[in-house]
Amino acid sequence: MKFSNLSIRLKLVVLLGASAAIALFISAVMSLVLTFVSVRDESLRHLQQTSDIAKDNLTATLAFRDNASAARMLGSLSTNRRILAAVIDDDDSLRFSEYVSPASAATQTRGYLAQVAALARAQRGQLFQQREGLASITWNYMFTVSPIVFDGKAIGTLTILSDNVELKDRLSTYIVMQLLFSVLTLVIIVLISIRLQRVFTTPIFRIIEVIREISQTKNYAVSVDTVQNDEFKALYVHFNDMIAEVRDRDATLSRLATTDPLTGLANRRHAMEVMQFMVSRARRKQESFGLVMLDIDHFKGVNDQYGHPVGDAVLKVVASILTHTAREIDLVARIGGEEFLVLCDKSDLQATHLIAERIRAAVELTDIAYGDEKSLRVTISGGVYAAVPETEILDLYLSRADSALYRAKEADRNKIVNWEKT
């Protein structure tokens, strides 16, 4: 599985875990190196201390060439189980006295001694002229070679050879402890990572959830909020701004698609959609549904006599009257040049007629201002239809209202006429 295909949750856990593992590894390696150096120096220091203590007494044995005492004193080093061998060489590099631990592999130990002796010979100047000791550690053993100084002159050397068992044991223990500690720490960090990843993923998933909701419901009224005050807060703010912009644009587009630009009333298409909804519901619930078709009388004459700007003003005033006179639950639409439609939800013939008559009267009594303090009046005719719909064919009801309107026009206009079955 490719890393890029993992979920954000898993990526975060992997990244945090990997970061912690790398940090732990570097820390463990550094710590191991420092521990090795520290333990090595400490081991060599202990060996050097042993050598210094032994040297004080051994100086006299070499000074007076007392091999027996030297052997006895070197033999006392057997109390230290780690010491493989100790030898005294005189200033001619001849072996003066020697102790080889019976617990050690003698041949191997003598091999180590030979290696150290070769090194001591190579560093003779350091040992005898500068009277500085040698100390070093190898994979198999560690050693010190100290000059035996008498009256300011090096008269020989004391070599002490020790094994590395303690050093290796301590390092092994340290490595095991370090591994256990690292594994435990890693587990804790991964567990914490699993918890911490929510800090990052929860805000992301919240946004994804909202986007999915918007996608499904087309409801741009939703917004996301967070108590966090970080980059996610900024992301949320920008996301909410973007949604608000989409919401406004959607509303504008919707308004443009459903509204008549001159009068601000619903346009014909929107009126038909709403009418379809009203008819369907009224038919389903067996409720009465009413509609009024209105037409401004002699509107062509108004245009011809006063000009189109005044005609437009008349349309706006009539639209305003319709809006304010109809009920809030009614829909008022401009469906043609001077034609209007009022959809009266849950209204029987009497109620619908009453609304239409109220509109007609209001229009008749309204002075429509134009030019310099001039005004005119217009009248309006209307055809009313109301019933419990027996079909969802809208044209049927429109034609019935239109038929009633026609009869109102025929009856000298400024009238509201109900549709009657002929």
Partner 1 sequence: MTYKWVLLVVALLAQLVAATAQASQEENRLMAVFLGRFASYIELPDRASKLFVITVIDENPFGSLLDDLYAGKVIGGKPVVIRYATKVEEVGQSDLLFITLVNPRARQDAIDYGAKHSILTVSTATGFAERGGIIQLDFLQQHTRIKINHAAALKSNIRIGAPLLSLASVIRGDAQ
Residue 339 as a binder of partner 1 (CB under 8 A): the answer is no
Closer to partner 1 by Cβ: residue 64 or 277:
64
Residue 71 as a binder of partner 1 (CB under 8 A): the answer is no
Closer to partner 1 by Cβ: residue 74 or 113:
74
Residue 352 as a binder of partner 1 (CB under 8 A): the answer is no
**Beta strand pairing call for 368-370 and 374-376:** antiparallel
Residue 364 as a binder of partner 1 (CB under 8 A): the answer is no
Closer to partner 1 by Cβ: residue 66 or 348:
66
Binding to partner 1 (CB under 8 A) within 115-174 occurs at: 150-151
Closer to partner 1 by Cβ: residue 66 or 287:
66
Closer to partner 1 by Cβ: residue 54 or 344:
54
The closest alpha carbon to 32, from 178, 184, 186, belongs to 178
Q: Which residues contact 405 (CB under 8 A, 6 or more apart)?
A: 293, 294, 295, 381, 382, 383, 417
Residue 61 as a binder of partner 1 (CB under 8 A): the answer is yes
Q: Give the range of 54-62, 180-188, 191-199, 301-309 binding partner 1 by CB under 8 A.
A: 54-62
149 within 8 A of 155, measured Cβ to Cβ: yes
Residue 56 as a binder of partner 1 (CB under 8 A): the answer is yes
Residue 211: half-sphere exposure toward Cβ, Cα within 13 Å:
9
How many other CB atoms are found less than 10 A from the CB of residue 203?
19
DSSP letter for 79, please: G
Closer to partner 1 by Cβ: residue 57 or 305:
57
157 within 8 A of 148, measured Cβ to Cβ: yes
The DSSP string of 214-280 is HHHH--TT-----S--SHHHHHHHHHHHHHHHHHHHHHHHHHHHHB-TTT-SB-HHHHHHHHHHHHH
Q: Give min distance, CB of 91 to partner 1, in A.
A: 12
Interface residue with partner 1 among 25, 45, 49, 65 (CB under 8 A) is 65
Q: How many residues bind partner 1 (CB under 8 A)?
A: 14
DSSP letter for 372, please: T
Q: Give min distance, CB of 168 to partner 1, in A.
A: 36
185 within 8 A of 20, measured Cβ to Cβ: yes
Q: Give min distance, CB of 146 to partner 1, in A.
A: 16
Closer to partner 1 by Cβ: residue 68 or 221:
68
The closest alpha carbon to 359, from 268, 296, 273, 420, belongs to 296
Closer to partner 1 by Cβ: residue 1 or 94:
94
- The Cα–Cα gap between 329 and 332 comes to 10
Residue 59 as a binder of partner 1 (CB under 8 A): the answer is yes
Q: Give min distance, CB of 97 to partner 1, in A.
A: 12
Q: Give min distance, CB of 54 to partner 1, in A.
A: 12
Q: Give the range of 36-44, 57-65, 121-129, 137-145 binding partner 1 by CB under 8 A.
A: 57-65
Catalog residues that contact partner 1 under the rule CB under 8 A. 56-57, 59-61, 63-69, 150-151
